[in-house]
Amino acid sequence: EDQVTQSPEALRLQEGESSSLNCSYTVSGLRGLFWYRQDPGKGPEFLFTLYSAGEEKEKERLKATLTKKESFLHITAPKPEDSATYLCAVCTLMNRDDKIIFGKGTRLHILP
């Protein structure tokens, strides 16, 4: 069964304390992996798309990497405004149609 698991569920860091969020996936055929950020009461905001193992993308303090079984979202020297829920999603092909599966997210809280 296709599955996306994010860990940890929640993470509290001090401002400036770097860390990584994990997204592991089990799918029959990966067509793409997405990272989103979601603030309370808002819709998810697109961050990155990764397509193949070894690919990396960066944006400000965030860097996403991809292997054949998992993706990491590295946060370097985070600030309080980076506090949010980070969602991972995979796109896989099922019965000739694309299927999008989201993980349940990691709630990140950065303490000033």
Q: Which residues bind to other proteins, rule: CB under 8 A?
A: 31-32, 34, 36, 41-46, 49, 87, 89, 91, 97-105
Residue 38 CB, shortest distance to other proteins, in Å, is 8
| Shortest spacing between CB 14 and other proteins, in angstroms | 27
Nearer Cβ to other proteins, position 100 or 111?
100
Cα Dmax for the chain: 48
Contact 71, 21 (CB under 8 A): no
Dist CA 86 CA 33 (whole Å): 13
> Please, what is the minimum distance in Å from the beta carbon of residue 23 to other proteins?
13
Q: Which is nearer to other proteins, 18 or 52 (CB)?
A: 52
Q: Which residues contact 16 (CB under 8 A, 6 or more apart)?
A: 77, 78
